[in-house]
Amino acid sequence: MAPPRFGVLALQGAFIEHIRTLQAIGVESVEVRLPEHLEGLDGLILPGGESTTMRRLIERWGLREPILDLARRGAPIFGTCAGMIALARHLDDGEEPILPLLDVTVERNAFGRQLDSFETDLVVPVLGDTPVHAVFIRAPVIARTGPGVDILARLPDRRIVAVRERNIVATAFHPELAGETRFHRLVATMASAHADPGEGAGRRPHPLRRSEGSEQR
Amino acid sequence: MSDTSTWATKKGLAQMLKGGVIMDVVTPEHAKIAEEAGAVAVMALERVPADIRATGGVARMSDPAMVEGIMKAVTIPVMAKARIGHFVEAQILEALGVDYIDESEVLTPADEEHHIDKHQFKVPFVCGCRNLGEALRRISEGAAMIRTKGEAGTGNIVEAVRHIRTVQAEIRQLAGMREDELFARAKELQAPYELVAGVAREGRLPVVNFVAGGISTPADAALAMQLGAEGVFVGSGIFKSENPARFANAIVQATTHFDNPKILAEVSRGLGSPMRGIALETIAETERLAVRGW
């Protein structure tokens, strides 16, 4: 089985940090600036940056529909910070959603301005006992989650900062700035599972049964 | 336990601005045009560099009321300029809550020996440089982002090209040096050995590096990016052009697609006149801004 091939949206922002993180775990990636760069990908990362800038560039270069298609086919999409804003179905300031793939409401600049940016250790149970060192930069938070959304991490004040819904993963903070590879490993595993779901116990024939349609006895 | 204003958060914001365009604005109306066009941040200043050049006099920090008006007008980060060495202007800008301070040679220097001790501040700083030594001295003083200076307010890219080429070439030279040579080189660069050794090891500056000073067309922005810039500052180039909104938008597109000549051709088409610009040799040495800072 071929290893998964990721795209990193490279319109603007900290995309090189994601490419380096993927490299560190042995996952090949390409920079995505135009729709044709999405062909043949098993997953996509939406990096941190400025969400208003990304919105304009996604629209201008016709990336919206092809990214939604990729997500509909089940490929994992991982957004950090501005990437999380891009994935939200609702924005609390009433702006139109960008790629409404995640049933959450996101509050932009939820902590204030740059002077309120911070770093902290977070418990993320799905990644094991070692805490995640999380860097929050003019970060958003998730103000509401829909019924299908799993909450992966909260701040001590209970605010939600990491979620997963089916093939969509999003964090309000930047694992790619802190040498944290476990989120990338998680989505890389999701991509491998998507590319090759395996035989699957449910579809495996009974060991004593001959091939489909063969004569009884 | 959470910590604010750490080195990671200070240089992290600059990392989020990469691949983007930071635009000089004088008023909230300018700021809105910039945001609408796709700027990643705006830089508040009293007058754009071309006007500072034309009108002369002492150029200072912008009026706090104007900075606050700009901060209210947009959701993207707001940067503001303080004079070199004027740490009280910086204190005022920090108190206003700006997202980044540019200790800038475009304003009239307040101190001809000392730059601001930027470690004393919670707000991050960006500083200009013409070469690697200057960049590393600013970083050792606490700058969390660097921009090459170019010659602001000229609409002429020649100095910006010289400065980014110089920085990039000096970084490449370090990569091939032995440890004993690095010690000697650090002395020549007048920069701390640890920073010099770090650049030699990583092959890049420890902070983000943008290009500034003289960018006035989409092609200029793409040239800066192809020469190794991580993003661009555009000053007079936007609001001194015939059609600021169109120029701003085209420069944003060109910064994203800097290595795609077909797209560069498309976004450069029919924009109207760029700012007029000034040939460098007509500017007296004493009128040049880039030589300010040491």
Cβ contacts of A48 on chain B, cutoff 8 Å = 15-16
CA angle A173, B117, B75 (to 5 degrees): 35
Query: What is the gyration radius of the CA atoms in chain A, in angstroms?
Result: 19
Which residues in chain B touch residue A121, judged by CB atoms under 8 angstroms apart?
Answer: 1
Domain ranges of chain A: 5-203
Instruction: Please state which of the ranges A199-208, B52-61, B65-74, B230-239 shows the lowest mean pLDDT.
Output: A199-208
Cross-chain CB nearest to B1 (options A16, A33, A120): A120
Above pLDDT 70, what percent of chain A? 91
What does the alpha-carbon distance between residue B277 and residue A168 come to, in Å, rounded to a whole number? 49
- Provide the pLDDT for residue B282: 87
Pick among A114, A133, A135, A137 to test the B interface (most B CBs inside 10 A): A114
How does pLDDT run across B162-188, given as a tens digit for each residue? 999 999 999 999 999 999 999 999 999
Report the predicted TM-score, pTM, of the whole model to 2 decimal places.
0.94
Strands B100-104 and B125-129: parallel
Amino acid at B83: R
Closest approach of B287 to chain A, Cα-based (Å): 35
> Class assignment of domain A5-203?
alpha beta
Does any CB of chain B come closer than 8 Å to the CB of residue A119?
yes
pLDDT band at A213 (very low <50, low <70, confident <90, very high): very low
Locate the chain A residue with the closest alpha carbon to B231: A12
Note the pLDDT tens digit of each residue in B61-77: 999 999 999 999 999 99
Give start and end residues of each alpha helix (H) in chain A: 15-24, 51-60, 64-72, 82-87, 182-195
**Which residues of B have a catalytic role annotated?**
81
- The complex's ipTM? 0.94
Query: Residue A13 and residue B97: Cβ atoms within 8 Å?
Result: no
Q: Would you please indicate which residues of A are annotated as catalytic (active-site) residues? A: 81, 174, 176
More confident: A214 or B6: B6
Alpha carbon B105 to its chain's center: 10
With beta carbons under 8 A apart, name residues in chain A contacting B256. 10-12, 33, 57
Torsion of CA A91, A9, B139, B220, to 10 degrees: -110
Comparing alpha-carbon positions, the chain B residue that sits nearest to A136 is B9
Burial class of B226 by CB neighbour count within 10 A (0 to 12, 13 to 18, 19+) = exposed
Determine which of A19, A21, A115, A154 to mutate to test the interface with B (most B C-beta atoms within 10 Å). A115
Beta bridge partners of A6: A29, A43
